[in-house]
Structure 1
Amino acid sequence: MTLSEFKQFHVNIKIRMIVSFVSDVAEMSIFPFMAIYFSTQLGLAWAGGILTFTTVVSIICGLYGGSFADRFGRKKVMVVGYFIQTTSFMMIALANSPWFESVWLTFLMFFLLSITSKFTDPASEALLIDVSSEVERPSIYRFIYWSTNLAFAIGIVLGGLFFMSHKFELFLGFAILSIFTLLLTLLWIQDQHVPSKEDPRSLLSNYVEVFKDSRFMVLCLSTLLIISLEFQLYGFIAVRLNEDIHSSLFGFVIDGPKMLSILIITNTMIVIFASSIIGKVGNKMKINTALFLGLFLYVIGYSFLAWNGMIVVLIAAIAIATVGELLFQPIRSTYVAQLANKDARGSYLAVSGLTMDAGQILGSLGLLVSALVTNGMMAGMFILIGGVGVLGFYWAIQDSRIKISRNIA
């Protein structure tokens, strides 16, 4: 997407992209390193309990956030969430300052940051859909996917450099940026959603409607199966590489952890530097051709990562999987937007967002299964899981709400 295209978007879309980028950088600078912080301060048992509790409550808050976005409007939910985040960053900076230190205040503020992040996500996503056209959405989602990966890369670098030695400065910097994102949202976001004046439905009835939408739920479950393969990279595949990779490339000794780093860096570099090219290639295809080609490449790429031990093949496999993801993800997001009922859009998107959390859980099960079967059998399971996911995609998009056009590929 070019700068001229960005300028043509609705102000809500531009602000949402800026706010999300800042938030993603902040999260990746902090969240991955909190396990180290809590385990150092409180021990492994406490750290595990804190992170598990925070994750579970965050998922529940995401469901409430989706329902509230439909009942009270997107902007109100976002402003409340960003205000709590800004306050939390200020307090977590104080709790790690030269004048005062408190691990429990840090935990409380980390907890609030985590749950408000999930709480505002459905409203933020629904806000984008409210003001975007069918033609714009694939380009928008492609740009968001690119900017998210760039933000993650920047965040990991910042966290690695400053989290352990300059926590106060890091948290204070994000507190200042949070004030900026709060003001952007408060002053310039224009909420296009008009909540229904009928008696508001309960949280349960809101989600009963979503769960009864069979096409949408199959799309979410199929997405869950597909993305669970990627999460194997940090579980089963990481362990396999550590056991199997003891080689060299151009004179450099490469073991499992180094190979995993190479794969992650390759994935990130392709997303950052090749998204535009791959997007243009996808635009020349029919939308469903791009979708299913992307899914096929994604499944094949991760299946090779499950059993092959050649360094060059592994790098090629992650490259193929990444290209596949760049092709199918924007289209998948576009179809989610089309299937989401306008009056319950926040709730639909909250359920869609659960696929990432469930994907992590399903991905972690790969480690348990891998203890019982061979790597070749794991690769076969990857193909089977991916195949079921692809069939689910095919069935889910056979719906009158899905608008198929070459112009939105």
Structure 2
Amino acid sequence: MKFKTWDINLKVRLFGEALLDISFWAVFPFLTIYFSDSIGRQTTSLLLILSQALSVITALLGGYFADTYGRKRMMSISVIGEGAGFLIFAIAATTMFHSPYVAFFGFMVASIFMSFYQPASQAMIADVVKPEHRSHVYSIFYMMINIAVVIGPIIGALVFNNYTSQTLLAIVLADLLLLILLTKFGHETAPMALDKELRKAQREKKIGTVLMEQLRNYKLIFKDKVFFLYIIAGVIISQSFMQLDLLFPLYITEVIGDSSIFSIQLTGEQLFGFIVSINGFCVALLTVFFTRLMSRYREKLVFMNSSFLYGIAILLFGIATGPWGAILAIILFSFAELMTVGIQQNFVAKIAPDNKRAMYFSAAGLRYTFGKVIAPLAITLSTLVGYFATFATIAVLAVISGFIYFYMYSLYEKQDRAK
């Protein structure tokens, strides 16, 4: 599918989201270090758990609102809320106002609104792209994100510590630009939102009725055994890849520390920025290649082996004492991530009914939402049993998720043959 044939929604989003993601990734990888230094490691862990627990509620409603009120509207509301949250963070991070708890409140507001964006965003792609082209389009968006992951942390490593508020304001400006693009060029694609009678009936419902209806709908979704196993495996494996922004920065700054690469001296923070950029570079450069390569193999083997490779990478990271060990681990980590690019969203699109597509994507997003609630516990665990035992535990979980994926796909293939 050529870029010139893409729907205008996708074209403007690719550009706008690229700028937003670059500015976001100049900040996000360093937040664990920022808050740990300001309010302590254990307090940061607990606050991150609280933030993501609140995001679970918005994630539950995100798909419903995107199906009912429209993809474009919910994406616009999400962008406004995210910008407001990071504006609060930016003000709280100034030397004049300096308040780490208000700063965290701003980050929490941004996180909650960000959870509205993805169900609508992914469902919009499914709305306007034919099934045979979806994996390709998803992989392009994923590649764009990882180009941002290359550029953003390099910028952040240079400016975030010294110009925290200014870097956060860059996210606010990027949110504003994306909002303008969505408003001017975007159009609605949700089937229910385009039907005036259905839209009117839905809007007349009270929020309590909506929430109860939503919970009943999710109950029906989770009765789908294949999809339920997909969520469980996703939550477990997320404990591996989410440490890139949680445990990795603390381990690199506290254990590996200042390092030298090709005679270039790097602080722990700069080394971490370099490690994250390697991850982003690998994914950005190899996304299309891996998507095509993995399409030759059975999906259940791809998911299982990806989980096993995550486990190996995490274990290697836990025994790394220098920069080169961390670099080897992050390359393997990146390969594990690349193996499932595209096929994750495409799997959800395959099993989701058309009228509940955003809801399925929203439910699928709970892999990451619940994962984010649990993942910060690794920070607390590391203070109790040490870094190596924590990494080893996460590696074991990764292997378990691989076996769950294998069983899930075996069940799906059996059901598919029975149709």
SS at structure 2 position matched to 1:230:
helix
* Fraction of identical pairs, as percent: 23
1:142-169 deviations in whole A, cap 9, x for unaligned?
2222221222333323333333333443
| Pairing of 1:301-320 with structure 2 (within 5 A) | 302-303=311-312, 305-306=314-315, 318-320=330-332
Q: Retained in 2: the 8 A contact 1:122–1:347?
A: yes
Distance 1:168 1:257 in 2: 18
- Equivalence for 1:272: 284
Distance 2:156 2:187 in 1: 33
Partner amino acid, structure 2, of 1:101 = F
1:114-152 deviations in whole A, cap 9, x for unaligned?
211112221122112111111211111222222212223
Please tell me whether residue 14 in structure 1 is matched to residue 25 in structure 2: no
Closer/same/farther in 2, CA of residues 203 and 264 from structure 1, 3 Å limit: same
| Pairing of 1:273-312 with structure 2 (within 5 A) | 273-282=285-294, 285-286=296-297, 288=298, 292-293=301-302, 295-300=304-309, 302-303=311-312, 305-306=314-315
Closer/same/farther in 2, CA of residues 362 and 399 from structure 1, 3 Å limit: farther
Q: Retained in 2: the 8 A contact 1:304–1:314?
A: no
Please tell me whether residue 71 in structure 1 is matched to residue 68 in structure 2: yes
Please tell me whether residue 218 in structure 1 is matched to residue 229 in structure 2: yes
Distance 2:190 2:110 in 1: 26
SS at structure 1 position matched to 2:27:
helix
Please tell me whether residue 162 in structure 1 is matched to residue 174 in structure 2: no
Closer/same/farther in 2, CA of residues 296 and 238 from structure 1, 3 Å limit: farther
SS at structure 2 position matched to 1:15:
helix
Q: What's the offset of the Cα at 1:52? A: 3.5
Closer/same/farther in 2, CA of residues 45 and 229 from structure 1, 3 Å limit: closer
Distance 1:321 1:35 in 2: 20
SS at structure 2 position matched to 1:191:
coil
Distance 1:220 1:299 in 2: 18
Distance 1:7 1:232 in 2: 37
- Equivalence for 1:188: 185
Which stretches in structure 2 are left out of the alignment for 5+ residues? Answer: none
- Equivalence for 2:350: 338
1:238-296 deviations in whole A, cap 9, x for unaligned?
86998799x9998999999999777645433321223333344345x25x26x624642
- Equivalence for 1:127: 124
Distance 2:248 2:27 in 1: 25
Once the two structures are overlaid, the 10-residue window that deviates more, 265-274 or 254-263, is 254-263
- Equivalence for 2:337: 325
Once the two structures are overlaid, the 10-residue window that deviates more, 261-270 or 134-143, is 261-270
Closer/same/farther in 2, CA of residues 269 and 341 from structure 1, 3 Å limit: same
- Equivalence for 2:214: 203
Partner amino acid, structure 2, of 1:300 = L
Q: Retained in 2: the 8 A contact 1:238–1:256?
A: no
Partner amino acid, structure 1, of 2:54 = V
Once the two structures are overlaid, the 10-residue window that deviates more, 72-81 or 88-97, is 88-97
Q: Retained in 2: the 8 A contact 1:29–1:155?
A: yes
Closer/same/farther in 2, CA of residues 162 and 321 from structure 1, 3 Å limit: closer
Partner amino acid, structure 2, of 1:62 = A
Distance 1:152 1:363 in 2: 20
Once the two structures are overlaid, the 10-residue window that deviates more, 312-321 or 14-23, is 312-321
Which stretches in structure 1 are left out of the alignment for 5+ residues? Answer: 403-409
Partner amino acid, structure 2, of 1:170 = T
Distance 1:266 1:90 in 2: 29
Q: What's the offset of the Cα at 1:364? A: 5.8
Closer/same/farther in 2, CA of residues 394 and 44 from structure 1, 3 Å limit: closer
Distance 1:321 1:42 in 2: 30
SS at structure 2 position matched to 1:192:
coil
Q: What's the offset of the Cα at 1:9? A: 1.4
Closer/same/farther in 2, CA of residues 230 and 171 from structure 1, 3 Å limit: closer
Q: Retained in 2: the 8 A contact 1:219–1:392?
A: no
Distance 1:43 1:244 in 2: 20
Distance 1:382 1:316 in 2: 21
Closer/same/farther in 2, CA of residues 331 and 349 from structure 1, 3 Å limit: same
Partner amino acid, structure 1, of 2:68 = R
Distance 1:209 1:168 in 2: 45
- Equivalence for 1:390: 405
> May I ask how many residue pairs the two structures share in their alignment?
395
Distance 1:89 1:318 in 2: 29
Please tell me whether residue 101 in structure 1 is matched to residue 103 in structure 2: no
Q: What's the offset of the Cα at 1:335? A: 0.6
Closer/same/farther in 2, CA of residues 139 and 224 from structure 1, 3 Å limit: same
Distance 2:109 2:249 in 1: 32
Closer/same/farther in 2, CA of residues 10 and 392 from structure 1, 3 Å limit: farther
- Root-mean-square deviation (CA), in Å? 4.4
Q: Retained in 1: the 8 A contact 2:8–2:186?
A: yes
**Length-normalised TM-score, structure 1:** 0.77
Once the two structures are overlaid, the 10-residue window that deviates more, 234-243 or 381-390, is 234-243
Once the two structures are overlaid, the 10-residue window that deviates more, 336-345 or 160-169, is 160-169
Partner amino acid, structure 2, of 1:140 = V
1:333-382 deviations in whole A, cap 9, x for unaligned?
21111112222222211221121233355556678599499799869835
**Length-normalised TM-score, structure 2:** 0.75
Partner amino acid, structure 1, of 2:339 = L
- Equivalence for 1:53: 50
Distance 2:338 2:254 in 1: 28
